[in-house]
């Protein structure tokens, strides 16, 4: 059994295959997931696991250079937006419309679907590197 790090084998596999600038999406349970993008559904019930819990776990195992959020989260879900910014540290943050966000998910290596049930709780992580 793995001692530390990501225990979910599907997520661990995706993270291990990421190259610089590749993207993954952490999504609420309502975000449409394109058919050709790998879906990793970790939702158990409404709210579990939460968007923030999932971000915390991914950030323990992934170098994130940049993050993309839907601009609507600022007004429509300010509490989750604030917690998300706290988690991201020095990562560059970009905002796009929710419609553009859904378009960008088509290029992701995977979408991780959480049990989150608050609006616009979705993020695209752009992989960084451990060296400069």
Catalytically active residues, by annotation: 20
Residue 119 · residue 76 · CB < 8 Å: yes
Name the residue with tokens 């776990």.
Answer: 57
As given in the structure block, the two tokens for residue 86 are 């706290």
> In terms of Cα–Cα distance, which of 125, 130, 20 is closest to 64?
125
Instruction: Output the six-digit token pair for 122.
Output: 């979705």
28 is in an annotated binding site: yes
Q: Is residue 48 a known part of a binding site?
A: no
94 is in an annotated binding site: no
Q: Is 121 annotated as a binding residue?
A: yes
Complete edge-to-edge strand list for the sheet that includes strand 92-96: 38-41, 110-113, 23-27, 123-127, 64-70, 92-96
Per the annotation, does 61 bind a ligand? no
Query: In this structure, what token pair is assigned to residue 79?
Result: 């509490």
Query: Can you say which residues are annotated as belonging to the binding site?
Result: 28, 98, 120-122
Residues of the binding site for substrate: 28, 98, 120-122
């Amino acid at each position: 059994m793995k001692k530390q790090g990501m225990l979910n084998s599907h997520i661990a596999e995706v993270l291990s295959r990421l190259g610089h600038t590749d993207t993954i999406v952490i999504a609420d349970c309502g975000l449409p997931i394109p058919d050709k993008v790998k879906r990793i559904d970790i939702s158990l019930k409404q709210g579990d696991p939460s968007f923030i819990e999932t971000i915390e776990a991914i950030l323990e195992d992934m170098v994130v250079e940049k993050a993309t959020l839907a601009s609507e989260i600022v007004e429509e879900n300010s509490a989750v937006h604030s917690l998300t910014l706290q988690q991201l540290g020095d990562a560059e943050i970009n905002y796009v419309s929710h419609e553009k966000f859904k378009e960008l998910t088509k290029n992701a290596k995977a979408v991780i679907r959480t049990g989150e049930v608050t609006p616009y709780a979705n993020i695209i992580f752009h992989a960084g590197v451990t060296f400069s």
